[in-house]
């Protein structure tokens, strides 16, 4: 069990560093997106989660606003404009994120308060709401302050709720002159067709395993290929794992820990993340039960004697819970119940794991109740 905390910088620190783009797999897409942006006022960057869509959008915005861009059009990283972007203080850049991400990254808007002042009294929204879009629409009409136009960065567009997306449509269709919109999304099918059709789309391919592993190794990640498999090949998710203290060793030990009734790497995870990881354990356990190779864990990570029927029941239960992942769980109780369910499915074939799992319709465990 590794007790040592990793020293890797937070993904946001890494990917917003100094105007350069330290994520090597995004350099080519950035050049492409810049070329497309010259002819279109609204861009939709389509990228899998965890590969740096926000960093790419920000580099694009910074390059558009840079006062001394290089011959390739990329931001210089040192001019007054670049420094303002870096300080989250550029008057002609509006970064619109879901509230939860605004607080994590300090890209605050309107009446937002910094994390320290808010004091965790209220759970921040994972959506981009109509009030957020109204702050943006008010900003869009103002004249550019530094003479290089204005840029709106909206990430991710899937976070727009229906009202917010409708409110944004008119601006997408007829933006005021010299306003560039940069939207990101991982699944364009989750966007209103009217939003999708008003944007020029740029597809950002994920990095290859070797490229991602080499980059992660340079960030100090040990055995990066283990966590890359765990995270579907998404390098920034690997860094987030590492930040939580989950390294390759703890990940590999997770199925055995769960079979013994211990949370292992799940300790401290919130319910949505715990469910995501349990679904991965369950997937590979089902594969192991029929003698197939796993996808998220190396060979030999699963306990012996797995019973497919119990795993099938567990899988259905996890899927049902995943639909209610945003329910205001009592996190500690819910995690206990999830670990119990995992233990039953992985170690005691024949019993009903669902009996131990939390149920949003009957568990009196709302936060604060």
79 binds Zn ion (CB under 5 A): yes
Among 33, 82, 199, 274, binds Zn ion (CB under 5 A): 82
Q: Which is nearer to Zn ion, 64 or 343 (CB)?
A: 64
Closest approach, Cβ 153 to Zn ion, in A, equals 16
**CA trace torsion 241, 242, 244, 250 (10° rounding):** 80
Closest approach, Cβ 70 to Zn ion, in A, equals 9
80: left (phi over 0), alpha (psi -120 to 50) or beta: alpha
Q: Which is nearer to Zn ion, 57 or 275 (CB)?
A: 57
188 binds Zn ion (CB under 5 A): no
Q: Which is nearer to Zn ion, 90 or 313 (CB)?
A: 90
CA-CA distances (angstroms) from residue 82 to 31, 67, 93, 193, 195?
A: 17, 8, 11, 34, 29
CA gap 325, 10 in Å, rounded: 25
Among 14, 27, 36, 76, binds Zn ion (CB under 5 A): 76
Q: Which is nearer to Zn ion, 76 or 192 (CB)?
A: 76
Q: Which is nearer to Zn ion, 67 or 232 (CB)?
A: 67
Closest approach, Cβ 76 to Zn ion, in A, equals 4
| Angle at alpha carbon of residue 120, lines to 137 and 323, rounded to 5° | 75
Closest approach, Cβ 68 to Zn ion, in A, equals 5
Alpha-helix residue ranges (DSSP H) falling in the chain: 11-15, 27-37, 53-65, 80-86, 99-105, 115-118, 130-140, 162-173, 193-197, 209-218, 224-230, 235-243, 248-259, 271-289, 308-323, 331-347
Q: What count of other Cβ atoms lies within 10 Å of the Cβ of residue 114?
A: 10
Q: Which pair of structure tokens corresponds to residue 30?
A: 């950035």
Closest approach, Cβ 148 to Zn ion, in A, equals 10
Q: Which is nearer to Zn ion, 82 or 181 (CB)?
A: 82
Piece of 5-13, 73-81, 288-296, 308-316 that binds Zn ion (CB under 5 A): 73-81
148 binds Zn ion (CB under 5 A): no
Piece of 76-84, 160-168, 305-313, 341-349 that binds Zn ion (CB under 5 A): 76-84
Q: Which pair of structure tokens corresponds to residue 56?
A: 């790419």
Site string for Zn ion, 33-72 (x = CB under 5 A): ---------------------------------x------
20 binds Zn ion (CB under 5 A): no
Q: Which pair of structure tokens corresponds to residue 36?
A: 């497309």
Q: What count of other Cβ atoms lies within 10 Å of the Cβ of residue 22?
A: 16
Piece of 45-53, 81-89, 196-204, 308-316 that binds Zn ion (CB under 5 A): 81-89
What order of strands is seen across the sheet that includes strand 179-185?
93-96, 150-154, 179-185, 42-47, 200-204
**Closest to 152 measured CA to CA, from 171, 124, 125:** 171
Closest approach, Cβ 65 to Zn ion, in A, equals 8
21 binds Zn ion (CB under 5 A): no
CA gap 157, 143 in Å, rounded: 25
What is the size of the binding site for Zn ion (CB under 5 A)? 5
**Interacting residues with Zn ion (CB under 5 A):** 66, 75-76, 79, 82
């Amino acid at each position: 069990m590794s007790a040592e905390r990793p020293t890797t910088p937070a993904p946001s620190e890494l990917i917003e560093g100094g105007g350069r783009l330290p994520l090597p797999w995004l350099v080519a897409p950035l050049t492409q997106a810049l070329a497309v942006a010259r002819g279109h006022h609204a861009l939709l960057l389509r990228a899998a989660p965890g590969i740096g869509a926000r960093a790419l959008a920000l580099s694009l915005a910074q390059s558009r606003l840079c006062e001394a861009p290089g011959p390739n059009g990329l931001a210089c990283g040192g001019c007054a404009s670049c420094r303002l972007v870096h300080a989250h203080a550029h008057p002609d850049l509006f970064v619109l994120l879901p509230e939860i991400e605004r607080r994590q990254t300090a890209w605050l808007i309107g009446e937002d308060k910094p994390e320290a002042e808010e004091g965790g009294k209220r759970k921040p929204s994972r959506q981009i709401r109509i009030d957020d879009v109204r702050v943006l629409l008010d900003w869009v009409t103002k004249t550019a302050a530094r003479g290089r136009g204005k840029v709106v960065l909206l990430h991710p567009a899937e976070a727009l709720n229906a009202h917010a997306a409708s409110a944004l449509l008119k601006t997408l269709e007829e933006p005021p002159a010299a306003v560039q919109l940069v939207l990101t999304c991982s699944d364009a099918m989750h966007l209103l067709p009217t939003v999708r059709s008003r944007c020029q789309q740029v597809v950002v391919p994920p990095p290859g395993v070797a490229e991602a592993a080499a980059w992660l190794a340079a960030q100090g990640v040990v055995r990066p290929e283990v966590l890359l498999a765990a995270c579907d090949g998404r390098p920034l998710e690997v860094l987030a794992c590492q930040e939580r203290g989950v390294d390759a060793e703890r990940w590999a030990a997770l199925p055995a820990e769960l079979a013994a009734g211990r949370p292992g790497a799940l300790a401290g995870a919130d319910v949505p993340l715990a469910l995501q990881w349990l679904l991965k354990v369950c997937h590979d356990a089902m594969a192991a039960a029929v003698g197939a190779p796993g996808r998220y864990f190396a060979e030999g990570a699963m306990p012996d004697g797995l019973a497919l029927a119990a795993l099938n029941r567990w899988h259905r239960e996890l899927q049902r819970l995943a639909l209610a992942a945003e329910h205001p769980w009592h996190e500690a109780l819910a995690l206990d119940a999830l670990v119990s369910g995992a233990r039953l499915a992985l170690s005691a074939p024949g019993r009903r794991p669902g009996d131990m799992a939390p149920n949003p319709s009957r568990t009196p465990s709302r936060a604060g109740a």
